[in-house]
Amino acid sequence: MCSSFKSLAVASLLCSFTASSVRAENVSQESVRAVNAPQEPPFQEPSVSTLTALLGHKIDDETVQAFVKAQHLHKIAKGNSGGYNRINDPTETFGILFRNNVISRIIIYTRPVQGAASSYGGTLPFKVQASDSPAAIRKRFGKARYDIVGKYLNKPGNGWLVYDKGAMGVTFSFTHNKMNEIYLDAPGRF
C-alpha cells in the first residue's frame, strides 16, 4: 500500500502514521484486554483456627498443600526444616514453619514490616489485641512459663512471654513493649 504513493515523502509520512495507528490500536486493544482480564482475587485472610489446624500435619499432606496453593505461599527449606510464606510481600500476614517435614509453628504478624509484611487482619487468638503490652498479657494469662521481656539484650520491653494453652504453646514477641508476633506451636514442639 505504501509504495503506491507518488511522493516518497507523503508515502513515508502516511506509512509511518498508519503503522503508528496500528500500533496504538494494538496497544489500546491490549490495554482493554488487560483491564478486562479476570483479576486474581485478594488473599482471603485465614482464621487462626484454620492456621492452627495445620499444626502437626506433614508438609506433603493434601490439606497443607491445598492451603499453600490457595494462599500462594513459597516453600523455603533446608533439609527437612523450613517454612512457607509469601517472601517479602506486603500481603504476608503470617508464616508457617516446619521441622522434620511436620508443621510445627504458625507465626502471626501483629505489626507491619515495611515492604515485607502487613499486620494480620483476622481476630487474634485468645482475645489478645495487637496493642497489648507485656503487662497486659501477664495480667490476662498470669505467670508465663518463660518471661524474658526486658532480659533480652538487656533492653527493657524486648523479649518473649511463653505460655502453655492446652496442648499448644503460645509465645508473644515484643519490641519496645509493642507486640510484633504471636507464635503458635504444635504439641511437643515447645
All residues at 6 or more sequence positions from 172 whose CB lies less than 8 Å from its CB, including other chains: 128, 132, 134, 137, 160, 161, 163, 179, 181, 182
Q: Are 23 and 65 part of one and the same domain?
A: no
CA distances for 4 relative to 7, 12, 19, 22, 84, angstroms: 9, 11, 16, 19, 63
Percent of the chain with pLDDT over 90: 60
Confidence (pLDDT) at 33: 42
Q: Are residues 121 and 28 in the same domain?
A: no
Same structural domain, 17 and 78:
no
**What is residue 141's predicted lDDT score, i.e. its pLDDT?**
96
Report the helix count and the strand count for the chain, using DSSP H and E. Answer: 4, 8
| Average pLDDT of the residues in 61-68 | 96
119 and 31, same structural domain? Answer: no
Pairs from 164-168 (Cβ < 8 Å, separation ≥ 24): 164/190, 165/126, 168/52, 168/55
Q: What is the pLDDT of the chain when averaged over all its residues? A: 80
> Tens digit of pLDDT for each residue in 147-188?
998 877 678 889 999 999 988 999 999 999 999 999 999 987
Asked if residue 30 and residue 52 are part of one domain, the reply reads no
63 and 90 housed in the same domain: yes
Q: Taking residues 40-69, what's their average pLDDT? A: 90
Residue 134, domain extent:
48-185
The C-alpha cell that represents 70 in the structure block: 490457595
Distance CA 167, CA 56 (A): 12
β partners of residue 58: 102
Per-residue pLDDT, 157: 87
d(CA 93, CA 45): 8
Query: Residues near 46 by Cβ (< 8 Å), separated by ≥ 6?
Result: 67, 71, 94, 122
Please give the average per-residue pLDDT across 117-135, as a whole number: 94
Decide if pLDDT at 60 tops 50: yes
Under the banding of pLDDT at 50, 70 and 90, the label for residue 42 is low
pLDDT band at 18 (very low <50, low <70, confident <90, very high): very low
Calpha distance 40→37 (Å, rounded): 9
Are both 81 and 170 inside the same structural domain?
yes
Q: What does the pLDDT look like over 94-113, one tens digit per residue?
A: 999 999 999 999 999 999 88
pLDDT of res. 88: 75
